[in-house]
Amino acid sequence: MPQELPRGSAASLSIAITGSGGSGAVTAGSILLAALGKAGFYGLMTRSAGPQIRGGESAAMVRFSPEPLYCMGDQFDLLIALDWRNFHRFLQEIPLGTASPVLYDPALGEVPEELRLQPRLERPWKRRAAAIAGGRLNLVALGTAGALLGLPCEALETGVQKVLGHKGEAVVDSAVACIRAGFSAENPNLARLPKPRPDPNRWLLSGNEAAALGSLRGGVRFVAAYPITPATEMLEWLAPKLEQLGGALLQAEDELASINMILGGSFGGMPSLTATSGPGLSLMMEGIGLAVASETPVLVADVMRVGPSTGIPTKSEQSDLHIALYGLHGDAPHLVLAPLDIGDCAFTFQWAVGLAEQLQTAAIVLSDQFLGQSRAILDPPPRCETPLTRLKQARERPCRRYLYTDTGVSPMPIPGESPCRYTADGLEHDERGVPSSLAEDHLAQLQKRRRKIEGFAYGEAWAEIQGAGPLCLISWGSSAGAVREAAQRLQAAGQPTRVILLRLLAPLRRESLKAALAGAEQLFVIEQNQTGQLFHYLHGAQVLPPHARSFARPGPLPLRPGEIVRAVRSEI
């Protein structure tokens, strides 16, 4: 049953804070986000940095609303410029509304040419900061902005405590003084949003954290990985948590090691995971194929960045769908999933761990830099309640590890726990695991491995379906947020719209998807890559009518609801 499409998107505000190296744009953004949470808003923060390894210019982009948010908006309603050095780098990333003011301190230089038509709000931050011991301009600016936005000063102070608390009392005191200095001189005179409903039960976390949490919920207790942007934070969050939970994280020498290490951990009975990004995923394909052939469950998180090759490590794109679906040599059925938003990372990862365990195969989960590194205020993410576990109990000795069963799933005894010993093998084998080059064994094992993946009852979670209009927007992964919001706008504008957001990409639930598509007259497949990877995949599976259209646009800029609405409108 498709849910109803939520009514027209709630009012929201988007703020960008920019500055050069050391100006503290991200700190200000983080405090603002925490303050917004305290004040009862939902919100989302992304960051962007220049090419320098560290200390280069950076920007924090914050969007908030009394209702949950899943993507960035079309444009920014306020620009807070902490200085103007290298500002041009962010021009493309920060489209301003024509009436959006620029808030800045004229003591720090001229407003750049490109902004000359924006309304200006000038404040003497530098001077005020100088008057405070340890005073910092970014915090004074934040105080000003908070006041203009109508936030209570206490909320900002709570934010300071959250973000800077670990730096000690002196820092916090000085920061609070700065906030107040910026705040006191203002009246709230920017567009104001409907009053939010504060709820202390809400969470503030990143997608990488949510993904890690979901994995732990799914039972993962062993992780081996090699650092890579933008997956590292997921691992960094996991390392101490695993230890507390009686698990372990092993930093591998490379990705070939990490994928094979988790095969070892999983063979030993522990649900196991690795996380990487495109280049690392490429290196893992052989190991993932071994997981498929030896039927050893593992979860591989690919936090996608701009490709191909080294690409743009710090920016988001959805261009690893093809390698995830098709990147294994031989006929190698496996699972591919993608979370639909930051909160959904928790659900999707938990479900993916369970599916991998249940089906004794590899699950590749496609998150991305946007989901992974953005932080959000959201309602606590729900758990996946379906119990999915590994079938361990075997009866026979010698063990028929690759027994032909109706489901295709065979018992997988655990070393040290069962006398039904066996040798797992990536060579083609018979039921007992003995290498075989006979056609009948190959065919039977191929069919078994396919049957278990394709025949499983995945339930309703394979996609989120909302609305029922003849206009149908199909998407996957992190584009889902912008697509959802675009659909709401189209619907609000009188265009009944349906959205189908795929969470389970392989195996494709063909029949369910066909049913969900019934009656759709105009179809758009929307994704953030150049070549329309999902579009071609769906055509390959013969589920799309010939008139379906592809709207595919590569990174590094995020998909925005407005551009989707425009693209759809121009075609219908």
Ligand X SMILES: Cc1ncc(C[n+]2csc(CCOP(=O)(O)OP(=O)(O)O)c2C)c(N)n1
The footprint of ligand X (CB under 6 A) covers: 226-228, 255, 279-280, 283, 310
Residue 179-208 contact track with other proteins, rule CB under 8 A, x = bound: --------------------xxxxxxx---
3-class SS of residue 16:
strand
Do you find a cis peptide bond into 200, omega within 30 degrees of 0? no
Q: Which of residues 259-298 bind other proteins (CB under 8 A)?
A: 259-270, 272, 279, 286-287, 289-290, 294
Q: Are 207 and 70 in contact (CB under 8 A)?
A: no
Neighbours of 214 (CB within 10 A): 28
Q: Indicate which of other proteins, ligand SF4, its own copies, none lies near residue 224 (CB less than 5 to 8 Å, by partner kind).
A: other proteins
Burial class (CB in 10 A: 0-12, 13-18, 19+), 98: exposed
β-bridge pairing 120-122 and 102-104:
parallel
Q: Indicate which of ligand X, ligand SF4, its own copies, none lies near residue 228 (CB less than 5 to 8 Å, by partner kind).
A: ligand X
Our CB check for ligand SF4 shows the closer of 56 and 95 to be 56
Return the structure tokens found at 85: 């050095």
Do you find a cis peptide bond into 415, omega within 30 degrees of 0? no
Residue among 134, 382, 398, 519 that touches other proteins (CB under 8 A): 398
Name the minimum Å distance from CB 106 to ligand SF4: 33
DSSP state letter for 510: H
Q: Indicate which of its own copies, ligand X, other proteins, none lies near residue 243 (CB less than 5 to 8 Å, by partner kind).
A: other proteins
Please give the Cα distance from 551 to 531 (Å, whole number).
9
Which positions touch ligand SF4 (CB under 6 A)? Answer: 53-54
Q: Which of residues 39-68 bind other proteins (CB under 8 A)?
A: 51-56
Our CB check for ligand X shows the closer of 372 and 507 to be 372
Please give the Cα distance from 548 to 284 (Å, whole number).
34
Our CB check for other proteins shows the closer of 95 and 426 to be 426
Q: Which of residues 348-387 bind other proteins (CB under 8 A)?
A: 377, 380
Establish if 165 lies at the interface with other proteins (CB under 8 A): no
Look-up of token digits 């953005």? 374
Establish if 437 lies at the interface with other proteins (CB under 8 A): no
Establish if 439 lies at the interface with its own copies (CB under 8 A): yes
Q: Are 487 and 71 in contact (CB under 8 A)?
A: no
**Closest-CA residue to 115 (of 132, 125, 101):** 101
Compute the CA torsion angle 213, 217, 218, 220 (nearest 10 deg): 70
Name the minimum Å distance from CB 229 to ligand SF4: 13
Binding site for its own copies (CB under 8 A): 51, 89, 92, 256, 278-279, 281-283, 285-286, 289-290, 292-294, 306-315, 317, 319-320, 322-323, 325-333, 425-428, 435, 437-440, 442-443, 446, 450, 529-531, 533, 536-537, 539-542, 546, 554-557
